[in-house]
Amino acid sequence: MKKLLCTALLATLASAAVSAATAFTDAKDAVDYRQSAFTLIRHNTGDIGEMLQGKVPFDAKRVQQRADALAAVAPLPWPAFSTPGTQAGGGEAKAEIWADFKDFTAKADKFQLDAKALQTAAQSGDQAKIKAAFATFRGNCKACHDKYKAD
Ligand code: HEC
């Protein structure tokens, strides 16, 4: 009986792991997910940008919070491009993504590394370092959108 329970538990865990990897009901669900992640990325990026441009007062602690958030959300959109059934669904993703998925993934990986570098720069509190790391981080958006996102 004990063994049976154990087997049942393992089976449940295994299926939970599988559904975590394919947690989208359909393509639209995946598009909603990745667009939500990009919305979070846009807001957090925009706030740091405005502080660095002097549009709002520079606040090292807020930069830190924003950079922490960016490091946390930067990995989120990508699984919603690679799970089966995520390649359509009415979003702005161009077919070129799946024509050259290796390049797209390389761009996504660089974006995540640059988000971590921005987080490290934010921890230093040094505005010049933050500015440089932010410029590099920010460059990823256009580099990817120009090729892979419809306007
Ligand atoms: C490696 C590629 C890549 C990088 C890097 C990237 N994006 Fe995107 N982004 C996309 C794609 C593809 C879409 C379209 C997603 C869809 O509609 O399915 C998108 C969509 C968006 C959207 C629209 C979301 C919506 O609600 O429709 C915003 C806003 C956005 N990105 C902001 C950013 C910002 C800001 C950055 C940089 C800090 C960034 N992205 C970096 C590929 C990228």
What pTM was estimated for this model as a whole? 0.87
| Any domain includes 40 | yes
| Any domain includes 2 | no
| Any domain includes 51 | yes
Confidence at 4, pLDDT banded by 50, 70, 90: low
- Domain with 99, as residue range(s), is 22-148
| Any domain includes 1 | no
The residues that bridge with 149 in the sheet, in sequence order, are: 93
Residue whose CA is at the smallest distance from ligand 1 atom 22: 38
Cα end-to-end span (Å), the chain: 59
Give the helix/strand (H/E) hosting 114: helix 101-124
Counting the structural domains of the chain, the total is 1
Q: For 95-145, write each residue's pLDDT tens digit.
A: 899 999 999 999 999 999 999 999 999 999 999 999 999 999 999 999 999
| Any domain includes 61 | yes
Measured in Å, residue 132 CA sits from the centre of ligand 1 at 21
Q: Pocket residues for ligand 1 (CB within 6 Å)?
A: 31, 34-35, 38-39, 41-42, 45, 91-93, 104, 107-108, 111, 138, 140-141, 144-145, 148-149
CATH code of 91's domain: 1.20.120.10
Q: For 43-100, write each residue's pLDDT tens digit.
A: 999 999 999 999 999 999 999 999 999 999 999 999 999 877 677 666 899 989 999 9
